[in-house]
Amino acid sequence: MNLSIRNKPLKSWKTSGDCHIFQVLNRRSNSYLIVAPSGNILVDTGKESSFSKLRQNIENLNSNNPGIDKLILTHAHFDHCENAFVLQKQENCQIYISEAEAEYAVAGCTPMPKGTILPTRFIIGLGKLLKLKSIPFKPFVPDVIVKADTDLSSSGVNIRLINTPGHSAGSLSVIIDNEIAIAGDAVFGIFFNSVFPPFGDNVKEVVNSWGKLLQTGCHTFLPGHGKAISRELLQRELDHFSRKLKKVN
Ligand SMILES: [Zn+2]
């Protein structure tokens, strides 16, 4: 495969199963392109304002095959799916989303998540007070509704989709070759030595989902925001928050 990278090299990871994972957006939200022998899979789309950057990065990455065969959405918050409508039209790609998020995709709107730390609780509380609604996006109809943990290996790529709820009820993670996980907002990579999402509907479920992610063989967890997270850090955070939650209960 001829990879012609004309701009600054994108961050990338490679698995033993010959999947290349490129971070094709790293602004406010991350998007990742999985380049596998069987085709290109995009995970999350970023915001509408990042669309030309996303397009450009995918085209620069692989001028031989700049298309997208599948689009997997980790969840239906606008900053992850705002470009899904246009990509579906342009690429005719199959869109995968969990059952719990599908209705939001069709409605073009998702309920606001809760704040999990003091500053975000304040922001969300203020939003409610001002009767602000969550940010709408162009609605789209998903092609594949993921109802339970799903193995995509029949399509020629060793990828599993697992439910990792907590940030939102229908959050999904993408497990590639049991080595790398794209975990959406189940983990955050913006704080030093912490993976805790500042927004999320259910903290206990978030922590349970970390346990589920650690039950895979993955060594690296790629978040929806910020930098890659090591297995060691995620394990430390799981231990820390499990103790904290036990004290509360
Ligand atoms: Zn989110």
- pLDDT tens digits, one per residue of 78-111: 999 999 999 999 999 999 999 999 999 999 999 8
Ranges of beta strands (E only) in the chain are: 12-14, 20-26, 30-36, 39-43, 70-72, 94-98, 144-146, 150-151, 159-163, 172-176, 180-184, 220-223, 229-230
Cα(42) to ligand 1 centroid in Å equals 17
The pTM of the whole model exceeds 0.85:
yes
Cα(4) to ligand 1 centroid in Å equals 32
Distance (Å, rounded) from C-alpha 132 to C-alpha 109? Answer: 13
Distance (Å, rounded) from C-alpha 144 to C-alpha 209? Answer: 22
* Neighbouring C-beta atoms of residue 72, cutoff 10 Å: 26
Question: Which residue type sits at 55?
Answer: R
CATH class, domain 12-248, is alpha beta
**What does the domain layout of the chain look like in residue ranges?**
12-248
Cα(240) to ligand 1 centroid in Å equals 23
- Res 4: pLDDT: 45
Q: Give me the residues paired with residue 209 across strands.
A: none
Say if CB 40 and CB 33 are below 8 A apart.
yes
Cα(242) to ligand 1 centroid in Å equals 22
Beta strands 94-98 and 144-146 are parallel
Distance (Å, rounded) from C-alpha 98 to C-alpha 162? Answer: 9
Cα(148) to ligand 1 centroid in Å equals 20
Distance (Å, rounded) from C-alpha 121 to C-alpha 183? Answer: 23
pLDDT < 70 stretches in the chain: 1-7, 62-64, 131, 249
Please report, to the nearest 10 degrees, the dihedral formed by the alpha carbons of residues 70, 74, 76, 77 taken in order.
Answer: -130
Cα(154) to ligand 1 centroid in Å equals 29
Cα(75) to ligand 1 centroid in Å equals 7
Cα(74) to ligand 1 centroid in Å equals 9
Cα(218) to ligand 1 centroid in Å equals 22
Cα(99) to ligand 1 centroid in Å equals 16
Cα(205) to ligand 1 centroid in Å equals 14
Cα(187) to ligand 1 centroid in Å equals 10
Distance (Å, rounded) from C-alpha 48 to C-alpha 50? Answer: 5
Distance (Å, rounded) from C-alpha 23 to C-alpha 14? Answer: 12
DSSP count for the chain of H helices, then E strands: 7, 13
- Res 7: pLDDT: 58
Cα(77) to ligand 1 centroid in Å equals 5
Cα(103) to ligand 1 centroid in Å equals 16
Cα(249) to ligand 1 centroid in Å equals 27
Largest CA distance in the chain: 55
